[in-house]
Amino acid sequence: MNIDVRLLQLSQDAPRLIAISSKVSLSGKVFDELKGMSDEEVEVWIRETYRRAHFSPWEHASYTFLIDGLSRVATHQLVRHRVASYTQQSHRYSEGYLRRMALKASEQLSLGCPEKPQKDKKAAYLCYAEALRKVGPQLEVAKIGFVPPPVKSPELWARQVVEATATYYELLARGTRREDARYVIPDSVRTRIVVTMNARELIQVFFPLRMCTRAQWEIRHIAWKLWAELMKVHPQLWKYAGPSCVFRENTEREEPAALEEYLRGQKAFGIRRCPELVENKAIPTCLANAYMTLNL
């Protein structure tokens, strides 16, 4: 799908910060004593947040990601998570990935369309429209500007989005403003977005909902890629993260278990059924299917 997920910024010592914050509410020690806790104590107090379902300490750590190449279908779902900050590429001011499509088509047809519509914008836009309407096959060009859905007739989908993009450029050539011309562009158009979430939103809401097989496939893919990025920097925290079955199980066990232990079958699920009503015996297969989304 060519969706790039990149961790831009983070709370550097988030595991220790969360552990200290967790212990603050239960300990009579002063802060300077708490911040000297050992790595083993940090692990204990992270697990303690699960035992007590006490996730407010996780709010003190935050992470900022760049997600590039996802569709507007996915961003419409993403921004429903309101405990977060977002900055998204504007198709009102930018053609985004669309011009890349037009230039690729122009290159294949040797039309010589200008890289940027500077001096004679009308001629440039008409050239883009012509290139898109004449190029073939269209599927590879369509994938540059749009996220391809898993449909049985991808060529039909490609024909529609390429034609819509050609119409977009024809409208621009006729003097239509970008903010109005974009009304013809399908929601599968690619975009990019910067997202900042605190760790509580990620562990308690976003991952349980969006890593699950019940989530739409594109945002599920993004959620698993976000988790993979977090595992590179703070595995002490994020090894316990997962879809709703994992989160529910970990908050009911005496000690939480790592997601990878569930995936490998080293830990069994004790819950009767997950919050999405999958019965106990079917949960491991459901979880394995969700994990496969990471490699789409």
Active site residues: 210
DSSP H helices in 175-216 = 178-181, 199-200, 207-210
DSSP calls for 44-59? HHHHHHHHTT--GGGG
Q: Give the whole-angstrom CA distance, residue 106 versus residue 114.
A: 9
In 3D, which of 160, 220, 209, 223 has the Cα closest to residue 187?
160
For residue 57, is the peptide bond before it cis, meaning its omega torsion is within 30 degrees of 0?
A: no
Number of Cβ within 10 Å of residue 178's Cβ equals: 15
Q: Give the whole-angstrom CA distance, residue 25 versus residue 244.
A: 27
How does strand 62-71 pair with strand 190-198? antiparallel
Q: Give the whole-angstrom CA distance, residue 79 versus residue 46.
A: 28
Question: How would you list the strands of the sheet with 84-88, edge to edge?
Answer: 4-10, 62-71, 190-198, 84-88
Backbone angles phi, psi at 32, to 5 degrees: -60, -30
Q: Which residues contact 36 (CB under 8 A, 6 or more apart)?
A: none
Q: Give the whole-angstrom CA distance, residue 120 versus residue 138.
A: 27
Q: Are the C-beta atoms of 107 and 223 separated by less than 8 Å?
A: no
